[in-house]
Amino acid sequence: MAQVVEVLVEGGKASPGPPLGPAIGPLGLNVKQVVDEINKATKDFAGMQVPVKIIVEDPKKKTFRIEVGVPPVSQLIKKELGIPKGSSEAGHSPVGNLTMEQVIRIAKAKAEQMLAADLKAAAKEVIGTALSMGVTVEGKDPREVQKEIDEGVYDEIFANAEE
């Protein structure tokens, strides 16, 4: 039976120290080899926390594989806007503004892991995260944009995005 270790690491910057080393050391794997694999697989997510699964296929042969997840929506929003963190006063001092195209790009990246039935619903989930981070969408309060999505204001953008 394969053993699975799940960790959250900074893209391209995994190290043999915690949380990785202590988690995989007891499994008998070459920690440096695992760290190198993770860094190679996550280099595109530099500066973001990325969920990684290390699947130990055969502890005797020390064989393993790595599965890289998609960073959380909040991390993707921060990368999209180039900001270090969300607002400390989410309702009062916005830290950035997403365009609907950026919202859709993030929604598509996370679609497989979301419970949303379609792209519009996934976009509304992304906008909900933006709201809690103090990020406006199309220069407006995210709740207003969610209503506009329901009213069909952005239907053309969604139609083009699904092509």
Question: Which residues in the chain show pLDDT less than 70?
Answer: 1, 163
Q: What is the 3-state secondary structure (H, E, C) of 73-140?
A: HHHHHHHHHCCCCCCCCCCCCCCEEECHHHHHHHHHHHHHHCCCCCHHHHHHHHHHHHHHHCEEECCE
Q: Tell me, yes or no, if the two domains 3-68 and 73-161 fold the same way.
A: no
- What CATH class has 3-68? alpha beta
d(CA 45, CA 25): 25
Percent with pLDDT over 70 in the chain: 99
Prediction pTM value: 0.76
d(CA 138, CA 72): 21
d(CA 155, CA 163): 13
Backbone angles phi, psi at 22, to 5 degrees: -60, -30
| pLDDT digits 0-9 by tens, 50-79 | 899 999 888 788 889 999 988 889 999 998
Domain spans, the chain: 3-68, 73-161
Does 1.10.760.10 match the CATH number of domain 73-161? Answer: no
pLDDT confidence of residue 93: 84
